Amino acid sequence: MSKYYSQYAKAYVSVDCIVFGFDDNKLKFLAGRRKLQPGYGEWALYGGFVGTEESVDDAASRVLHELTGLKDIYMKQVGTFGELNRSEGERVISVAYVALINVKDYDEKNLLEKELHWVSLENIPKMFADHNEMVNTAVRMLRRRIITEPISFQLLPEYFTLTQLQNVHEAVLNTELDKRNFRKKVKHLPYIIKTDKIDKLTSKRGAALYRFDDATTID
Amino acid sequence: MSKYYSQYAKAYVSVDCIVFGFDDNKLKFLAGRRKLQPGYGEWALYGGFVGTEESVDDAASRVLHELTGLKDIYMKQVGTFGELNRSEGERVISVAYVALINVKDYDEKNLLEKELHWVSLENIPKMFADHNEMVNTAVRMLRRRIITEPISFQLLPEYFTLTQLQNVHEAVLNTELDKRNFRKKVKHLPYIIKTDKIDKLTSKRGAALYRFDDATTID
DNA sequence: ACAAAAGTGTTGCTGTTACACCCATGC
DNA sequence: GCATGGGTGTAACAGCAACACTTTTGT
């Protein structure tokens, strides 16, 4: 292996994950107390360093798996944060990733073991370094995407009611939506499929359960 | 300076620039022949390494200035490319940036000195490493942005005709647009201002010149 | 019986598309 | 006078927003 670039400086490259979940009709994300210096004990996103034998995207997948126990979850690059002062001591450049999960799939044991919390968007604490900025960018990205791309169901279980789906949209967009208009729009979406299952838990009358259809998303 | 993370590996971090210009009614970008190993002589985007005393965004600004001689040009992060095999020899992670310039502001001397070319989107050569992917991502981003954000004028001189503006949109979106509908829409945009100047160069009758108004973009 | 959530249509408005001709000027 | 690009309006249409009541059933 020749060293073509040896006259330049290297930097640590890390990934930080904004994992969104939908719970209690609120959009929340996972954050914990930092276990490393610098910033030990501060609120922070869960992250990790990019290893020598993995791509940056693979590192994000790995870290997301460590964090959630889940595989193949929705994940997108948010952006790269490379200010000089973002981490004292050593130069660290961080690539932020957003992920969407169904909180029911998340093993609560992880919260205790890793001392993580679901943080509601209304109560975001001051976080380590530029992590607040990462979260803000991720939220903006999610808001843009949820109206143009089929991703909202990623925050729900396999089978969901239209009311739940609407609640997700309302929580993400931080607005109220008209029930009839919302349902009308959903009817035209090819990838939201009505099933013959009925949910009897959340209402006395019972609500039809829908599911997402992967097959119709190839466009 | 303590070394908190010393057990992890570092990587070279570079920036690569996709500089778009509009010329001959076509959308083009700057590319040249690579001057470094690996990949010497291959078609490549212009790039550079992130220095120890600059942020990643600052590095992109600096590289864009080297490349174009221009300051304060429109610039956005496209994404970070961190596959293992993207550059042989050493691990290099690259952050791609897109920039928009008015080709008339570009000093043609640079083309010769740096052996650069304006490459039309229709004739993109096979490029070094993942640079083709970077360009594709940048084009997709530009197409999305041009319909939602006031950026098209960045590709034009300070004063421009509506026909020129329409040509920019057509070149970026790779579609034909209806002249009357286009002009109707532009009339409603608060940041495109009609001036009393008239362009007599491109038509016998003369066309009204418009300009972009920064003040009305604060929303 | 009543509380609680599910479900359902219509109307007006707004923005988008499709479409064809006259205007001013340089040559 | 004619070729060249500049400039303009209208009608159909689609998508979006506003709006209130009935249904089902567990308690």
pLDDT digits (tens, 9 = 90+) for B103-140: 999 998 989 999 999 999 999 999 999 999 999 999 99
CB of A37 within 8 Å of any CB in chain B?
Answer: yes
| Position A64 confidence tier, pLDDT thresholds 50, 70, 90 | very high
* pLDDT of res. A218: 47
Going by pLDDT thresholds of 50, 70 and 90, the confidence category of residue A4 is low
Measured CA A201 to C1' D15 distance, in angstroms: 35
Cβ contacts of B53 on chain A, cutoff 8 Å: 84
What does the pLDDT read at residue B219? Answer: 46
- Give residue B216's pLDDT: 62
Nearest to A151 by CA among A103, A193, A192: A192
Residue B2 sits at the chain A interface (C-beta within 8 Å) = yes
Residue A121 has pLDDT above 80, yes or no: yes
Q: Cα–Cα distance between A7 and A10 in angstroms, integer? A: 10
From B57's Cα to the closest Cα of chain A, the distance in A is 7
The pLDDT-based confidence of B5 (bands split at 50, 70, 90) is low
Kind and range of the H or E run holding B11: strand B10-23
B3 — pLDDT class (breaks 50, 70, 90): low
Please tell me what DSSP assigns to residue B51: P
Q: What is the pLDDT of residue A7?
A: 66
pLDDT band at A10; cut points 50, 70, 90: very high
| Phi, psi at A66, each rounded to 5° | -55, -40
Rounded Cα distance between B101 and B103, Å, is: 6
Contacts of B149 in chain A (CB under 8 A): none
Task: Say if residue B192's pLDDT is above 50.
Answer: yes
Q: What is the mean pLDDT of chain A?
A: 94
Could you tell me if B208 lies within 8 Å of chain A, comparing CB atoms? no
Residue B183: CB partners within 8 Å, gap ≥ 6?
B162, B166
Min Cα distance B157 → chain A (Å) is 30
Tell me what pLDDT residue B17 has.
98
Q: Which of residues 137-176 of A touch B (CB under 8 A)?
A: none
CB contact (8 A) between residue A93 and residue B2: no
Share of chain A above pLDDT 90, in %: 88
Report long-range pairs for B53-62 (Cβ below 8 Å, ≥24 apart).
B53/A84, B54/A84, B55/A82, B55/A83, B55/A84, B56/A80, B56/A81, B56/A82, B56/A83, B56/A93, B56/B13, B56/B15, B56/B95, B57/A82, B57/A83, B59/A82, B59/B15, B60/B15, B60/B17, B60/B95, B60/B97
pTM for the whole thing? 0.95
Rounded, the Å distance between the CA of B149 and C1' of D11 is: 30
